[in-house]
Amino acid sequence: MTSEHIIKELLKQKAISQNTAVLLRKFNRLTSDEQRILNQQLGQIKLSEKQIQQLFIKSLEIASKDAQQVLAKGKWMLQKDSRGNAYMLWNDYAIDNTMWQKMPDSVKAICVDLSFNTGGNQLAKYKNFIKAVKAEDYRRAALELLDSRDFNKNINNRNTRGVAIRRRDAAIELTELAEEIQ
């Protein structure tokens, strides 16, 4: 699935037609032959270094915004006390902009990297990682990255091993940060 901001930018730069944009938006619903033809057409696009840098910077900005939005969310959960009485409890505190600014740069970079590489709000699927980051428990956050389905799926696949290696490196960085803090 191609990010909408990339499609819009390619349209603005006249690198793709409206028809190609429509096909990109429904890529996952295309037949394998249609996907192959579209990929061949996309392979013919010529972008300047400046255009590539603009797309990359825009993508990073969006990934940063998405990471901040995911970390800013909390939710109400139904709980029961020892007598069985139900009550609502706010489960996760939200990280506001001030907290984001105070967060260690390495942690922000890891969150943005996850958002960038998983796409959009997919970072939200790393629930235990997010809880650990919010609690500033970076050792646990590192373990959650290594225990993720994403890591385990990609580590043994030669084509996607780079994703797993980035997760491993992020886990090492988080572990080192946790040791520095103690």
Over the stretch 110-150, which tens digit does the pLDDT of each residue have?
999 999 888 767 888 888 898 899 888 999 999 998 888 77
pLDDT of amino acid 135: 86
pTM of the model: 0.73
Among 95-104, 121-130, 173-182, the range scoring the smallest mean pLDDT is 95-104
Q: What is the rounded average pLDDT of the residues 2-6?
A: 74
Give the range with max mean pLDDT: 17-21, 96-100, 161-165.
Answer: 17-21
pLDDT of 2 above 60: no
pLDDT of amino acid 108: 92
pLDDT of 92 above 60: no
Which of 59, 46, 64 has its CA nearest to residue 6? 59
pLDDT of amino acid 1: 39
pLDDT of amino acid 75: 59
Q: Tens digits of per-residue pLDDT, 5-38?
A: 888 888 888 888 899 999 888 888 889 999 899 8
**Residue 159: pLDDT band with limits 50, 70, 90:** confident
Question: Where does residue 63 rank: exposed (0-12), middle (13-18), buried (19+ CB within 10 A)?
Answer: buried
Q: Tens digits of per-residue pLDDT, 32-71?
A: 999 899 889 888 888 889 888 888 888 888 899 889 888 8
pLDDT of amino acid 18: 92
Q: Output 127 or 182, whichever has higher pLDDT.
A: 127
